[in-house]
Structure 1
Amino acid sequence: RLDLLPGGKGGTLQKQFETLRKHQVDVRVLDYGRPASRNLTITSIELVDRFAVAKAPFRVAATVRNNGPGNAENVEVAFEVRQGARKQAAHLPVQVIDLLEPGQAKRVVAEVTCPSAGSAVVSAAVGGDDLPPDNQADLALAVRNVVTVLVVDGNVNLTDPTENESFFFALSLDPLGGASYGVRPEVISSDNLGGAVFEDYDVVALLDVPDFPIHVDAAATQPKVVHPRLKMLEDYVRGGGGLIIFTGPRINLDFYNGPFHDGGRGLSPLRVKPHLGRRVGSRKFFRLAPGSIASHPVTQVFTTSAAEGVDVTSLVRFSTFTPADEVATGVPEAGTRGVQILARFAGPDSFPALVARRYGKGNVVMVYTTASKRWNDWPADEVGTYAKVVNDMVQHVARPQPEALTARVGETIVHALDEDLLDAKVMLKTPRYPADDLVSLVATREGSRGRIT
């Protein structure tokens, strides 16, 4: 009944009825249900984090609504996760909602850890009311083995690896080796950028990379220089991949302000100027301006500490940075969002220190100093703000959980296919398999990609 009222949640059902009305069908609904003294509904269950990784905790949120006529007190929400061939359930700590008034909805969050990669189902359930069918909701997940990060090092030191631009960055992501924290960094030199396959990774990190390989298009009316690898990176981020950029002494300003920024349409969020630094031996340093730090997942280590009355920005010193030009940002292309300043350097000019932007379905975070100790002492911060920010950047930009794995009754589940899989045989196992037979699906072509429905 509630689904059919104006503003109800049964959008699919309402649309079907509206279609019948357009065909001159008189639709009448007879309500034979007995009045429910207590009726709780799990209206949604969703992944809070961008993805789920095996052996690492991730968060799932369930929303509970009170559809009954009276208050519901001490509502227990039980979570369980099922994984593996037998889908044996692992029960999680029960979350309790103190009070739900009639018509009120509240959200509870549970922390989940899956022991292995593969498919998993997380369920949330409430009990003890007069309408059990809407007391449970399920969320299908594709649990990753690890998050893969391609780290492109533009300033490699062959004699001392600790001087590599990537040393502290990779160490922060995988301090013990073996991807024990759910992240696997793979470091290559910028000289080998031409052979990188971006689609094999969840995140690409460019650390003081001077520029991208060029190609002269002699077939054009007027021969011109193009950057095919840059175009591939743009397509990768636009399709949902993540990009992290650190500057440094080797960056080519012509490239960064040219095709990389592309008048605001490129991956680099802002135009940059020659680096600005203190003289050698100076006791003066640049710092982050505490009041400039935005509330954002990447900077939460600073904002959380500030809320507790601790200013950890005073522990980080920058001798040199790359000034960013906020005036000449250009107009972002369709599918991108404006630049968000996450933190600024202290000083009269308040140059941006960290920025973020949306690019198509992907995210970009850029830091206007080095990832190494070449221009700052940030990696040596004893409080660990550097390692926390690096990991939070990866979490923020990494390719997210595949969409449309879970749907309500009547909703369509769509899965995109690359062109090389268009001729593949697709078989679907329903939740009742093997009691129900496999279902054969046919892919349809949409441009250079395909989809199965």
Structure 2
Amino acid sequence: AFVEIDSPGYLRIKAQIDYTDSKSVDNSREIVIRAVEKIQTLLIDGEPGRSITESETFFLQNALIPVPEELIESFFISSNIINLGSIQDIEIKDYDVIFLANVPDFSNELSNRLNDFVKSGGGLVVFPGDNINASFYNQELHEKLNLLPASYGKILPIEGSNSVLSLQASGYNHPLVELWNDPGAGTLGDVKTFKAFELILKDGVDSNIAIQYNNGSAAVIEADVGLGKVYQFSSSADTEWNDLPVKAAFLPIVHRVVGSVISRMDSGLNIQVGDTFIRKVPQSWINKEATISHSKSETATFINAEISDDGGNVQFNQVNSSGIYDLKLTEPFELIQFSATSDPRESNPEKLSGPQIERLKEISSNFIESSSLNEITSAINQKRKGAEIWPLLLLAALLLTLLELYLSQKFSQEK
């Protein structure tokens, strides 16, 4: 089913089944989504060219916004193309995704800004080309900042050979390309690459190979960095190194890259009960008191944003009930909603296996095995016999102590 959303903001979606059982709490689920009016992208062009069609970002721009000129304003993605010399005039935190297309190198100040941008929840997509300074990317962005998941190695195919690399023709395991597991969607195997960098993954980095070449080397690597996401391509964004930009697959790949960045931004909006809620908030939240409350609760918990490199973070570790939570800032008023659900495994109707039961018996001194609710209730009551009278015994002992003190004082005064 498709639903048209009228305005941006947080929306609650609830699914429910009408079924009566002993555990009604798992008969419904609620999630929170954030509707955005427009996704803001910034394209930094490392080789603008003499005309628009010769620029490094020409195909990228058209893949991002594949509509006629009269529909560009109403399209859900907006793009701003600049060259490296204009970056100082740009507030990069106003964008959702930044593309670097054959950008040679840049200042340490911009490197740190990009690093803060990604770790605060933004997306960075890097395309190489003949202009890039591979040593800069390797030393500054990969080794020093851990912003890029891989370093750029040797040029592929090996110089002097007549071979051309093809993208993998099957086995699409990454969400970016799982669309092509459907034979009706075609294949990526007809995409030819004439030149690419070898991408060398760093040990211990949380990354995934999204697309491979037919020789097994990585064509695209995806990594979560801080609260954001990075995509590192091995070949260019134009047709100088490959023919992907003129293939039908280029548009869905680019849109899925952008979509995964936005999904990463909102991944913390739906968590499980017991998890810690973590959310990036604007600089304006710093030193201001906010509240978090369950939608069905009349009380709220006061909370403050913690200072980070580019704004602030809110953390809340008392997510003890399922449902919708409201995070509110009063002045100026801002609202963030998130959802907590119980672990689906708690609703698993399958019986415990023999080894699982034996393990429970080992760690529990009061193990009750029964499929009848009445039997379980009776067994619990039997175990609790005598437990209800200990408060009365304690009260009696206290009264006797007070009586003894009173009598001792009384008789000592009479003497």
> What TM-score, normalized by structure 2, do the two folds share?
0.63
Aligned to 1:421: 285
CA 1:208/1:446 → structure 2, altered by over 3 Å: closer, same or farther? same
Q: What is the CA deviation profile of residues 404-439 of structure 1, one whole-angstrom value per residue up to 9, with x for unaligned ones?
A: 656789998665544432244657898589xx8xx8
Residue aligning to 1:160: 51
Could you tell me how far 1:212 is from its partner in structure 2?
A: 1.4
Residue 323 of structure 1: SS of its match in structure 2?
A: strand
Match of 1:151 among 25, 31, 43: 43
Does the 8 Å CA contact 1:365/1:397 hold for their aligned counterparts?
no
Q: Secondary structure at the match of 1:392?
A: helix
Match of 1:169 in 2: 60
Listed as ranges, the gaps of 5+ residues in structure 1 are 1-92, 94-110, 214-226
Deviation at 1:400, TM superposition (A): 3.1
Partner of 2:353: none
- The answer to whether the 8 Å contact 1:256/1:268 transfers is no
Query: What one-letter code is carried by the residue in structure 2 that aligns with 1:371?
Result: A
Take 1:313 and 1:411, find their aligned partners in 2: how far apart are those partners?
42
- Equivalent residue number for residue 178 of structure 2: 300
**Counterpart in the other structure of 2:246:** 380
Q: Over the residues paired in the alignment, what is the CA RMSD in angstroms?
A: 3.7
Q: Which amino acid letter does the alignment assign opposite residue 367 of structure 1?
A: F
Tell me what 1:323 maps to: 198
> For residue 210 of structure 2, what is the aligned residue in structure 1?
342
Distance 1:312 1:402, change over 3 A: closer
Q: Deviations over 1:22-74 (max 9, x none)?
A: xxxxxxxxxxxxxxxxxxxxxxxxxxxxxxxxxxxxxxxxxxxxxxxxxxxxx
Q: Distance in 2 between matches of 1:277 and 1:409?
A: 52
Tell me the equivalent position of 1:396: 260
**Residues 450 and 401 of structure 1: is their aligned pair in 2 closer, same or farther, counting only changes over 3 Å?**
closer
Q: Work out the CA distance in 1 between the residues paired with 2:163 and 2:281.
A: 55
Letter of the structure 1 residue corresponding to residue 132 of structure 2: I
Q: What is the alpha-carbon distance in structure 1 between the residues aligned to residue 292 and residue 231 of structure 2? A: 38
Residue 46 (structure 1) aligns with = none
Conservation of the 8 A alpha-carbon contact between 1:193 and 1:212: no
Contact 1:277/1:320, CA 8 A, preserved across alignment? no
Consecutive unaligned residues of structure 2, counting only runs of 5 or more, are 317-415
Give 1:205's aligned residue: 99
Q: Does the Cα contact within 8 Å between 2:288 and 2:305 map onto a contact in 1?
A: no
TM normalised by structure 1 equals: 0.58
1:313 maps to a residue whose letter is: G
Distance in 2, Cα, partners of 1:402 & 1:298: 18
- The separation in 2 between residues aligned to 1:264 and 1:416, in whole angstroms, is 20
Partner of 2:109: 228
**Secondary structure of residue in 2 paired with 1:298:** coil
Q: 2:221 aligns with which of 345, 351, 355?
A: 355
**Quick one: structure 1 residues 352 and 116, their matched pair in 2 at CA, closer, same or farther if it must change by over 3 Å?**
same
Name the structure 2 match of 1:101. none
- What corresponds to 1:288 in structure 2? 167
Code of the aligned partner of 1:388: P
SS across alignment from 2:117? helix
- Displacement of 1:230 after TM fit? 0.8
In structure 2, the partner of 1:451 is: 314
- Within 2, Cα distance between the matches of 1:283 and 1:276? 8
Separation of aligned partners in 2, 1:411 and 1:344: 35
After superposition, the Cα gap between the structure-2 partners of 1:114 and 1:258, relative to the gap in structure 1 and judged at 3 Å, is: same
Give CA deviations for 1:101-160 in whole Å, capped at 9, x if unaligned.
Answer: xxxxxxxxxx54423212322111111426796343332332111222111111102x32
Indicate if the aligned counterparts of 1:318 and 1:377 stay in contact, CA closer than 8 A.
Answer: yes
Letter in 2 for 1:139: I
Larger Rg belongs to: 2
Mapped pair 1:313 → 2:205: no
What secondary structure is seen at the aligned counterpart in 2 of 1:151?
Answer: strand
Q: Report the Cα distance in structure 1 between the residues aligned to 2:305 and 2:168, rounded to whole angstroms.
A: 51
Aligned partners of 1:365, 1:300: CA distance in 2, in Å? Answer: 16
The DSSP-based 3-state class of the residue aligned with 1:169 is helix
Tell me how far apart the structure 1 counterparts of residues 284 and 39 of structure 2 sit (CA, whole Å).
24
Question: Is the alpha carbon distance of 1:356 and 1:413 closer, same or farther for their aligned partners in structure 2, counting shifts above 3 Å?
Answer: closer
Instruction: Say whether 1:258 aligns with 2:136.
Output: no
Counterpart of 1:145 in structure 2: which amino acid?
E
SS of structure 1 residue aligned to 2:79: strand
1-structure distance, mates of 2:294, 2:211: 48
Shift of 1:385: 0.7
**Residues 222-275 of structure 1, C-alpha deviations (whole Å, 9 max, x = no match):** xxxxx0211121122223221111111110122122212217934252233357
Identity %: 22
Structure 1 residue aligned with 2:30: 138
Give, in whole Å, the separation in 1 of the partners of 2:303 and 2:229: 29
Corresponding position of 2:77: 183
Change (3 A) 1:298 1:180: farther
Contact 2:45 2:100 in 1 (8 A): yes
Cα separation, 2, equivalents of 1:121 and 1:155: 44
| TM-superposed deviation, 1:285 | 3.5
Alignment partner of 1:125 is 2:125: no
Three-state SS of the structure 2 residue aligned to 1:192 is helix
Q: Does 1:370 align with 2:246?
A: no
228-237 vs 172-181, which deviates more?
A: 172-181
Cα distance change on mapping 1:441 and 1:145 into 2, 3 Å: farther
Per mean C-alpha deviation after superposition, the further-off stretch among 416-425 and 358-367 is 416-425
- Please tell me the residue identity of whatever aligns with 2:223: R
The structure whose residues are more often helix, as a share, is 2
1:152–1:204 Cα contact (<8 Å) kept: yes
Count of aligned pairs: 309
Q: In structure 2, what is the Cα distance between the partners aligned to 1:271 and 1:370?
A: 13
Q: CA offsets per residue over residues 315-346 of structure 1, 9 Å max, x none?
A: x222222233x3xx4445xxx41x43333334
The Cα of 1:194 is off from its aligned counterpart by: 3.2
Contact 1:269 1:356 survives alignment (8 Å): no
